[in-house]
Amino acid sequence: MNRRTAHRTHRTKRRTTLAGTLLATALLATACTGSGGTSKGEDAQAPDDPKSVSGTIKVLTHRTDLAQDGTLKKYAAEFNKTHPKVKVEFEALTDYEGEVKIRMNTENYGDVLMIPAVIKKNDYPKFFASLGTVAERSKKYLFTDFTSVEDKVYGQSPMGAVPGFLYNKKVWKAAGITDWPTTPAEFIDALKAVKSKTDAVPYYTNFKDMWPLSQWTSVNGSVGCDTQATTRLAEGNPWAKGADLRVGDTLLYDIVREGLIEKDPTTTNWEASKPKLAKGDIATMWLGSWAVVQFQAAAKKAGTNPDDIGFMPFPAQVDGTFCATMSPDYNQAVNVNSDHKEAARAWIDWFTDKSGYAEANMALSPVKGAPLPEVLKPYEKAGVKLIELDDAQGAAVKEIDNQSEVGINKPDYRQDLVDLARGAKKGSLDDFLGDLGKRWTEAAKTAGS
Amino acid sequence: MTDTTTEKVARPHSAAPPVRKTQAPRQVRLRRGLTPWLFLAAPLILLITFTYAPVANMVAYSFTDWDGVSPELSYTGAENYAEIFTRAELFQVFFVSGYYLAASVVQIAAALYFATILSFNVRFRNFFKGVLFFPYLINGVAIGFVFLYFFQDGGTLDSVLRLLGVESDRAWLGTSTSANVSLAGVSVWRYMGLNFVLFLGAIQSIPGELYEAAELDGASRWHQFRYIIAPGIRPVLSLSVILSISGSLSVFEIPYIMTGGATGTETFVIQTVKLAFQFNKTGLASAAAVVLLLIILAVTWVQRRLVPDDKVDLV
């Protein structure tokens, strides 16, 4: 088509030729977009001798806070003690997902990077170098499943988290509740007690900031204590009676319906919510173990006791025990186009095993058998069972999710759910969840074809 | 343009001086012909790289199933367009544009009112002009944040109302209607300044003696507005109407920053952005963007047919 356009312009008057050529160039440029995908599939081998591996590697990270306060530089210095010839540079990006997604259309996306959520699992071999086989890595590490494609692992999360409610212990005590609720109904009663006996807002939705609402999807697996929960999402209706997501969403709906949330959810503020929970103005929030550090820091800043920040599992028990799923953070991977794959691999191994990053963030270590962080000591005491979800169907779930436009990891449908519960939107919960289920199962039929 | 002038000059019978002097050498002629293009090259290259190439790109993507990152994309023909036109719920968001359309009527009326008043001799005229135009100069994202605090529970609006003795206990962004009215109000606040300046400019271009003559004839201020100002600014008025209709069909910044499209405030553009960046349906979203472009073009065309742009002749 381009050729024909160019051809015709040659015959017309000289004056239009230039414009025509320019236009043709523009069209040609259009035709050239969509870079040719070469399916590569390379390995990033661990170096035999850490002293000899060399090169300058660039690490893309979402932790702008650690880049600013110099923590990352300290990690690099520590790393250089064992790998003297590798120079590590960091590039911290505020809008990590958005920027890296676009950069990945080129070959220039650092040597080590966190795998953006948007990249499809099946595309991993095109973008990243493999770190080894599943059999080999799963002996030592957690979360290998989440980045494996056809028996090869492409990333490793340096830490893991467990979902749960953050709560202010003082407020809950003042309301007369000392034991963790074991059913959703008990949980609602507890929040009602908080409402009647204290001045605190029983539950804070963080509706305006949106992403905290999408955290509710992490109830999946924790409710039914099922390591195959992700597979069930791919194969069935996540909002069928008794399914994990339905239980979670129903609890959220009931909390809102009973008026146990903040007065105006449409103008909430995440940063401001942290000191509020620390001070006891807010009693509870559904987040994850990763948030505890931030709230303790906020407590210190607000001059209250950081130990008041408590952490409890989802109110559901199977055979008398709570369950909580362990899930990875961003997975670190090696750019398949990197010139220093050995050095990059050495960094990932060191960062996962020896950096102390997980401890510093009070997070789960991805190394199997490592002790639990301080935050999760109460879990250990209460005998909460920590399980790792099988992520073999993770890519399929993502695909169905996009296809159906439900967005289980996006805030939209839960915002609608909250609107429904507080009467800003008409309809019943059953119809709403039924519609989600219908869209989901219909998309499941066509996805992957 | 230049070509034709050189041709004219080059005509042999046009003037007495010898032909050799006017008939410049081939090289010079070529350079003369090229000069305007050299001047035009910079803006043209910029225009093509940053406007037409991306648009052409987007149109190309709209025929594919690209997800925005994957190195592979396949051509799907008009499938995306078929999907858009068979999913009625994608067009439901245009009801939200109704709020903004209603708001733009208010906006144009208010802008016209202020422009008329401030075109006469009023005290502190320039000060008020500045006050009215100021919001338009603020960045849209900043406005979103400012008004988020404004509408907060116990925020600026509630405080001001309390000062006036009104105890309001409503969540301004709480229900769909209330949220859309509030957001449309912000949009009026922001864009009225632009309409105002356009109108003011048009009004000031009306020759002053017309008013004088009208005053001598005993015309009141209302008559001056009705028979001099209103017809005088008609082209600008119809431009404003076109801009505000296409504007209300493609509202984005204010609702996106303030509510993110929650509580029934989702507009067509927000929906498109979500399709592209949340659900990674870049192909479908490109098609939606093309459809929006076509709708706006169609609406503008219909409007021009209904209200033709007559030549205004005041004198």
Which chain B residues are Cβ-neighbours of A31 within 8 angstroms? 60
Mean pLDDT of the region A244-249: 94
Is residue A341 over pLDDT 60? yes
CA distances from residue A145 to A44, A131, A133, A347 in whole angstroms, order as listed: 18, 13, 11, 21
Q: In this structure, what token pair is assigned to residue B281?
A: 């349906």
Among B256, B238, B277, B299, residue whose Cα is nearest residue B93: B256
For residues B108 and B245, the answer to whether their CB atoms sit within 8 Å is: no
Read off the amino acid at residue A67. Answer: A
Q: Which residue of B has its CA nearest to A19?
A: B44
| A439 neighbors A391 (Cβ within 8 angstroms) | no
- Cα–Cα distance, B135 to B137 (Å, whole number): 5
| CA–CA gap between residue A114 and residue A334 (Å, rounded) | 9
Amino acid, res. A226: D
Q: How far is B79 from chain A (nearest CA, A)?
A: 14
Model pLDDT, residue B20 = 52
B83, B151, B263, B277, best to mutate vs chain A, most A CBs in 10 Å = B263
Chain A 267-296, residues with CB within 8 Å of chain B CB atoms: 267
Q: Is A235 helix (H, G, I), strand (E, B) or coil?
A: helix
Q: Of 3.40.1190.20, 3.50.50.60, 3.90.79.10, 3.40.190.10, which CATH number belongs to A163-326+391-446?
A: 3.40.190.10
Average pLDDT over residues B268-285: 91
Other Cβ atoms within 10 Å of B121 Cβ, number: 6
Residue in this structure with the two tokens 């030729």, named with its chain if needed: A17
**Confidence class for position A17, pLDDT limits 50, 70, 90:** very low
A120 in contact with B, Cβ within 8 Å? yes
What's the CA gap between B184 and A200, in Å, rounded? 34
Whether B189 shows a pLDDT value over 70: the answer reads yes
**Helix or strand or coil: residue A92?**
strand
Distance between first and last Cα of chain A: 31
- Under a CB-based contact definition with an 8 Å cutoff, are residues B269 and B250 in contact? yes
Burial bucket for residue A182 (CB in 10 Å: 0-12, 13-18, 19+)? middle
First to last CA, chain B: 33
Note whether A23 contacts B: Cβ–Cβ < 8 A.
yes
Average pLDDT, chain B: 86
Any idea where the domains of chain A sit in the sequence? 2-32, 55-152+332-361, 163-326+391-446
Mean pLDDT of B101-109: 94
DSSP output for A29-59: HHHH-S--------B-PPPS-TTT--EEEEE
- Quote the CA–CA distance of A73 and A90 in Å, as a whole number: 8
Strands A86-92 and A55-61: parallel
Q: Is the pLDDT of residue B131 over 70?
A: yes
| CATH number, domain A55-152+332-361 | 3.40.190.10
Q: Give the pLDDT confidence of A255-273 residue by residue, as tens digits.
A: 999 999 998 888 888 889 9
In this structure, the number of other CB atoms found within 10 A of the CB of residue B228 comes to 19
Region A292-304: mean pLDDT is 92
Question: What's chain A's average pLDDT?
Answer: 86
Task: State the smallest CA–CA distance between residue B58 and chain A in angstroms.
Answer: 9
Task: Tell me which of 1.10.10.410, 3.40.50.300, 3.50.50.60, 1.10.3720.10 is the CATH number of domain B91-306.
Answer: 1.10.3720.10
CA distance B183 to chain A (A): 13
The structure tokens 């969540």 sit at B171
Structure confidence at residue B311 (pLDDT):
64
**ipTM computed for the complex:** 0.77
- In the numeric block, the tokens 């070469």 are attached to A38
Task: Give me the pLDDT at residue A16, please.
Answer: 38
Q: Where are the domains of chain B?
A: 91-306
Taking CA–CA distances from B176, the nearest residue in chain A reads: A424
Write down the pLDDT at residue A177. Answer: 93
B74: nearest CA partner in chain A: A34
- The pLDDT of B153-171, averaged and rounded, is 85
Question: What is the DSSP secondary structure assignment for residue A45, as one 8-state letter?
Answer: P
Give yes or no for residue B276 having a pLDDT over 50: yes
Token pair 């906006």 is at which residue? Answer: B107
Greatest CA separation found in chain A? 89
CB contact under 8 A, B68 and A118: yes
So what's the pLDDT on residue A274?
Answer: 93
Q: Do B153 and A101 make contact, defined as CB atoms within 8 angstroms? A: no
Work out the minimum CA distance from B296 to partner chain A, whole angstroms: 24
Q: Quick check: helix, strand or coil at residue A194?
A: helix
Sign of torsion over alpha carbons A293, A296, A300, A306? negative
- Give every CB contact of residue A313 below 8 A, 6+ residues apart in sequence: A164, A165, A180, A222, A322, A323, A324, A379, A384
Return the percent helix, strand and coil in chain A, to nearest 5: 50, 15, 35
Q: What is the token pair recorded at B68?
A: 């925005």
Does the distance separating the beta carbons of A22 and B44 come in below 8 Å? Answer: yes
Interchain contact A381–B (C-beta under 8 A)? no
**Mean pLDDT within A278-284:** 94
Are the folds of A55-152+332-361 and A163-326+391-446 the same? Answer: yes
Question: Are residues A260 and A187 in contact, defined by beta-carbon separation less than 8 angstroms?
Answer: no
Looking at the predicted structure, is the pLDDT value of residue A322 above 80? yes
Residue with tokens 């960046």: B277
Percent of chain A with pLDDT over 70: 90
Given a cut of 90, whether residue A115 has pLDDT beyond it is yes
Q: B193-222: per-residue pLDDT in tens?
A: 999 999 999 998 888 888 889 888 888 888
Hey, are the CB atoms on A267 and B173 less than 8 Å from each other? yes
Q: Is B22 helix (H, G, I), strand (E, B) or coil?
A: helix
User: What pLDDT, on a 0 to 100 scale, did the predictor assign at position A393?
Assistant: 87
* Inter-chain residue contact A101 with B68, CB threshold 8 Å: yes
Q: Which stretches within chain B are classed as H helix?
A: 2-10, 19-22, 26-47, 53-61, 79-86, 89-92, 94-119, 125-137, 140-151, 156-163, 176-204, 208-216, 221-224, 230-232, 234-249, 253-258, 268-277, 282-306
Interchain proximity A104–B69, CB inside 8 Å: yes
Annotate A143-175 with DSSP letters as a single string.
-GGGGEETTEE--B-S-EE-EEEEEEHHHHHHT
